[in-house]
Every structure is written in structure tokens, then in C-alpha cells.
Structure 1
Amino acid sequence: MAAAEPALLRAWYRSAPWLWLLRPLELLFRGVSWMRRRAYRCGLLSVYRAAVPVVVVGNITVGGTGKTPVVIALVEALQARGLRPGVISRGYGAARGAVFPHRVGADSSARDCGDEPLLIHLRTGAPCVVSPNRVAALRMLLADTTVDLVLSDDGLQHYALGRDFEIALMDASRQLGNGFCLPAGPLREPRARLNEVDYLLCRGSDDPRHGVIYESQGLVRVIEETNAAPAAIPAPGSAIHAITGIGQPQQFFASLEAAGFSLSPRVLPDHHPFSAADFAGLDDKPIIMTEKDAVKCRGFATPQMWFLKISARVPAPLLEAVAALAHPRS
């Protein structure tokens, strides 16, 4: 399964010695990144400040760190408090030619808006607008929607977007790889950037203040209604096809193995645009995928296709800090 990772990604997290050859390019990247951020701080480039608080959930590493489940958990916690959160996202994985900004709705597809925003909207019902230009997404969201607070799914480095609170996620086991910036390492900004965020979350840590745990809520059929006979929920111990296109597939597979399933794993690239052809020849046993993958398969799913529903458990101090922001500006 590790072989499914891109070679450069493996090198970053195994501190391959040859990466030192890329240090001159890393220094150039650091310099450009510093000058760009400095331009925003000095007012040379404009920053859009919204009339409501904006919370950015992001990271400084390349690849998935579980941001989307954290955004969902925050949205649900705010809704439980009677607040009205909205969400903006880049919409990575949308089809070429997709029109932005795009307001995500029940009829949206992952090709229109990307898999993660679609998942957030389907799970929470929160208003969600997608655009690579997050300021444009925020303007559309606020134009005809009343919200108390806006969560930005990713966008820590999108400095044109003013923010009131920053949450950074880091993988507790992978940490920051070799600690180098691109292209010599996985960092999009130097590690010192983490000292500036308002809250640091560690994926997979049980620290009561900074740990975020991803809990399984069981298997759910990808399609809820079908004319075919109902399929039994795959039982632990049974043989399954485990197929996914996410940033860190090994954690998904580990969850299924811990539940007792016997896996035939298949890994596709992150944000892979699934089609029925991807499942050809896999009708001999149940298929289990992630929920993020499942939202792209609703149009052609069969009764034997299931997803593992996952929810993030975030620290109570973070929930209280974010909820406290959701009040009208004076």
C-alpha cells in the first residue's frame, strides 16, 4: 500500500538524502513565499475583511490531514448551539470548465464543486460556496445568505482572505516530514508558521487540548434507494474490496483491518473522479470506500457499495473558542 504513494511524498517523509539537492530551489520558494505574505501585511496587496468572523481550517503540509471532517464537526457543533455557520472552499477536484463561484446544492455533483465541499453540504446542510478565489466565494455566500460565522475549508496560505481565527492541522505520526519547504520537503510554509496560528490540532493524538480523533460510525450504503434486493451490511471478518482516492489511504485501510475485514485494497489518486469503470470486475464481494469517495459514486452505485462514515472528535476548548467568535461585529 505504501507503494501507492507518490515517490516524492515517500522521500519527504523518509528524509531521502538526495533531497538536499533541491535545497537551492527550496530557498527560492521560501523567499517568494515570504515576499508575498509581506506584501499583504504591508498593504501592497489587498485583504478582504468580511462583516462576519472568518475561521480558516488549514495546514502547512502538502497532502491530506483530515481538514474536512474537522470542518464538519465544527459546523455541527455550531448548529447545535443555534448558530448559522457558512462554509467556503476552493473546490479542488472539480471538473475542468466548472463555473465558479458555485453555490453547492442538493443537485450539485463533485464535478461542479469538488468532493469535499459536496460532502460538507450533504452532511450538514450548511450553505457552502466554492471558488479557487475564496474572496469571490465569500462575497457570494454573504450576498444572499445570513450566517453568523464562515469556515474556510483550507486556505491558510490564501492571504487575500482576511481571517479572525486560524486552525492548523498536523498529522501526529507524520509530523512535518523532513522539515523542508517545497520542493525539498512537504511544507508550504516554514514550520515557524505554526507558532502564529490560533489553534494547532494533531490528527491521531489523544491529547485532550490538541488531539483530534476520527471515530467510525459504521457502514452506510452509497445509495439509499434501489429496486434491487437489499444487500446485507458486510460483517467483520468478511472479505471486501477496499477502494479509495484520498491523501492518506493507509489510515482508511487500517480502520477496516481493525474492524476485522479481510481487504483487497486498491488505491487511486487523491480526488480521483470515480466512474463505473473503476469498479469493473469487483462484483464478487462488497466494496467499501470513504464517504468523500462515495459522494462521487452516487450516480452509478450498486447495492453492494458502502462507505465508512467517519466523524471527527475535536477538543472542547476549540469548539468554545470558535463559538465565541460568532457574534455581530460592533
Structure 2
Amino acid sequence: MSRRPGHAPHYWYGEAPAPLFARGLSGLYGAVTGVRRDLYLKGLLRRQRIDRPVVVVGNLVAGGSGKTPLTIALVQRLQAAGWTPGIASRGYGRADPKTPRWVESGTDPAVGGDEPVLIAARTGARVRVDGDRVAAARALVAEGCDVVVCDDGLQHYRLARDLEIEVIDGHRRYGNGRLLPAGPLREPPARGERCDFRVLNVGDASDLAAGFGEWPMWFEAGSARPMAGGRPKPLAAFSGQRVHAVAGIGDPERFFSMLRAQGMAVVPHAFPDHHRYDAEDLRFGSDLPVLMTEKDAVKCAALANDRYFSVGIDAHLPEAFWVALFDRLTTRPGGNATP
């Protein structure tokens, strides 16, 4: 049986059948979203194009699949190639989702969203959060960005895009294959076949196995940075020790397994994706080192002491993927893309 993320309905990624009421709602959801998608495909609803290339990184399932690490890797590659990328995001989970904001590394995650703050901190690029991706993209172009990367947004059809990248969780894939709420899917799996690239999140280099048309992506853990200040430590420094591991991401077990692979005895603490932490959440009853993902660390800075460490995660893909992506990006600026 596939792993399922914490707090997702058990039937999404398990063997149990979805409840009848959920299947009924899935039919309604599919009809509504399908009509909207068709209206854009047929041009009856107009897509808005900006005067710069737009790359959308997204997925078909509700919850995490590795979009943000890939977005960070993509932005860093663009910067290294001489582009000035800007990132457009909805900023899921922020306190005032209707107010557009610029996000920087020091922005409160409750205001800017945990993932946008992390992206800003890792890349130094301009980040704009706005429920209206078209407005966000235009604001980024006005700031001098020559390519816009959307962190999530496959379903935000109003913004025309030049490239689409679907990220697929290699362990969970599409779960039971049903649409929300009977399953995890926002759109049918066939939607992914229209994307320019499909990236399979396989977790680490020892688990590489991509299917036809899927590019493998694997993660490598960086150093452990003391959240209260100080020099980073190599993860090997914790080998043979018991540690508390905190992860509020789409699939917390990925993070726990990564630490175990470094020789740690992990005491796991899984939280829902985008969880807002308070002091009680981190009261574990023992004074072991606490290692958490960067995405969680940006929300826990005020709660940390010298036992707390942020573990960076880097996404890696075959060099051929980047060659293919830049070839498409540089030969199709301003070109037409169908959703």
C-alpha cells in the first residue's frame, strides 16, 4: 500500500473505498472544473498573456509533491544562466490571502506564506504573493523580471504560460485516482499528459526509477543550521544519536527517512502541511536535538533554542532535463501554450 500523508482521508491513498457521498461530490467537482477548463481551451474564457516567458510548476493532487524544492532549483538555474526570474505564488495559508504582498527572507510566514518566504530566502529573487497570478506576474515584470516562475498554478488557467511542469510524488502518485473529495486529484491524470515536462519525485538517488516521459528528481540533505545562530553542522555530526525530527510537509516520512539514512535514530513528529506551530507543538519531553525542514524552520524561529536545527534540502535532476528545459524556454519566448 502507498504511503499517505498525515491527515489526508485514509481512502485517498489506501485500499478502502471512498464514501458514497464523497464520490457524488467528486462527480460534481469534476463537472464544474471540466467546464471551466474547456472554456479556456476553446477560447471562450480569455487567457491573459504577459510580455515575458511564464513557467508553471504544479501538480494534479492536493498536497505536497516536491514543487517548492523544484521551484528553488529552477530559479537558481535561471539565475546562473543570466535570467532575472521572479516567483508568483498564491502564498497558501497566509493570514490575509486577499492582500497582494512582496515577500522577502525576513517576512513573517503568517503574512507571506511559508513556501514563498523559503523561496525568497533560498534564491534572493523577487517573490510576489497574490491570489491573482496575472496581477502577480505583471508586478514582477514591472520590477525587471524577465521570466516568471509560478510556484503551483496548473489550475490557474487565466495566466497564459509557455511551459508547464507537473511534479508527481513517486510513492503516492495519483492515489486512488479519484477527483476531490473522494480522492486527491484536482484534475484527471490525463491533464498531466498536456504538460511540457513531468518530473517524478523519487526522493533520493538510490530510488531512481522514472517511467516513460517522466524525469526523475531526487533530494539531498544539506547541513544542519542552528536556528538560534552559529555555524552549520554536517548531518554526519548527528550520526548514532537520537533526534527529534519535525516535518509539516506533504509527505513527512520522506524527511524522516532521509535522516535515518544519515545514521540517526529518529523520533518522528509529523504535522499537517503548512502547519502553524506554537510552543506546545514542540514540547517533546526530552532534550534531544530537534531537526526540522527549512519550510518548518521559517515558522519556528521564535520558538527555537540552541537545540534546534534547520535542514536544507536540494533538488537534483539529470542534466539532460535542464538542457531540454532551456532549449524550450529560449526558443519559445512569448509563444502560445495550451492549458
Q: Give the TM-score normalised by the residue count of structure 1.
A: 0.90
Tell me if structure 1 keeps the 8 A contact 2:200–2:216.
yes
Q: Which residue does 1:217 correspond to in 2?
A: 222
Q: Tell me which residue corresponds to 1:318.
A: 321
1:263-274 alignment to 2 at 5 Å? 263-274=266-277
2:176 corresponds to: 178
**Superposed CA offset, 1:211-258 (max 9, x none):** 0001112322223359xxx99975211111112211111111111112
Matches within 5 A, 1:44-59: 44-59=44-59
Q: Which digits, 9 at most, give the CA deviation of each residue in 1:49-87, with x for residues without a partner?
A: 011000000000111101000001111111111221111
Correspondence list, 1:246-325, <5 A = 246-282=249-285, 284-324=287-327, 325=329
Give, as a single letter, the amino acid of the residue that structure 2 aligns with 1:307.
S
Native 8 Å contact 1:129 1:141 kept in 2: yes
Q: Given residue 100 of structure 2, which amino acid in structure 1 is its aligned partner?
A: P
Does the CA-based 8 Å contact 2:18-2:182 persist in structure 1? no
The answer to whether the Cα contact below 8 Å between 2:106 and 2:117 also exists between their aligned partners in 1 is no
Taking a change above 3 Å as real, the CA distance of residues 116 and 7 of structure 1, as seen in their structure-2 partners, is closer
Residue range with higher mean Cα deviation, 268-277 or 201-210: 201-210
Cα drift, residue 329 of structure 1 = 4.9
The residue type equivalent to 1:201 in the other structure is V
Q: How does 1:57-206 map to 2 (within 5 A)?
A: 57-95=57-95, 97=96, 100-143=99-142, 145-204=143-202, 206=208
Deviation at 1:158, TM superposition (A): 0.6
SS of residue in 2 equivalent to 1:45? coil
Q: Give the C-alpha shift of residue 22 in structure 1.
A: 3.3
**Distance (whole Å) between structure 1 residues aligned to residue 123 and residue 149 of structure 2:** 13
* 1:191–1:99 Cα change, 3 Å: closer
Q: Which runs of 5+ in 2 are unaligned?
A: none
Deviation for aligned residue 1:152? 0.3
Q: Deviations over 1:106-134 (max 9, x none)?
A: 43110111010110110010111011221
Once residues 268 and 58 of structure 1 are traced to their aligned partners in structure 2, the CA distance between those partners, rounded to angstroms, is 22
TM-aligned CA deviation for residue 173 of structure 1: 1.8
Q: CA deviation at 1:4?
A: 7.5
1-structure distance, mates of 2:5, 2:41: 40
Distance 1:248 1:7, change over 3 A: closer
Tell me how far 1:278 sits from its aligned partner: 2.6
- Tell me the CA shift for residue 174 of structure 1: 1.3
Deviation at 1:316, TM superposition (A): 2.3
Q: What is the correspondence of 1:33-48 to structure 2 with a 5 Å cutoff?
A: 33-48=33-48
Instruction: Give me the whole-angstrom Cα distance separating, in 2, the residues matched to 1:314 and 1:171.
Output: 14
Equivalent-residue separation in structure 1 for 2:185 and 2:7 (angstroms) = 16
Question: Amino acid of the residue matched to residue 185 of structure 1?
Answer: G
Aligned partner of residue 48 in structure 1, secondary structure: coil
The change in CA–CA distance for 1:279 and 1:17 in structure 2 (over 3 A counts) is: closer
**CA displacement at 1:283 relative to structure 2:** 5.7
Q: Which amino acid aligns with 1:117?
A: P
Match of 2:302, SS state, is: coil
Alignment-mate amino acid for residue 141 of structure 2: L
| Alpha carbons 1:231, 1:303 under 8 Å: kept | no
Find the aligned partners of 1:223 and 1:304 in 2 and give their Cα distance: 8
* Contact persistence 2:117–2:298 (CA under 8 A): yes
The root-mean-square deviation of aligned C-alpha atoms, in Å, is 2.5
Residue aligning to 1:240: 243
Q: How many Å apart are 1:207 and its aligned residue?
A: 4.5
The aligned amino acid for 2:182 is A
Change (3 A) 1:18 1:231: closer
More displaced, 68-77 or 26-35? Answer: 26-35
- How far apart in 1 are the matches of 2:179 and 2:170? 19
Give the Cα separation in 2 of the matches to 1:138 and 1:161.
Answer: 8
**Structure 1 SS opposite 2:303:** coil
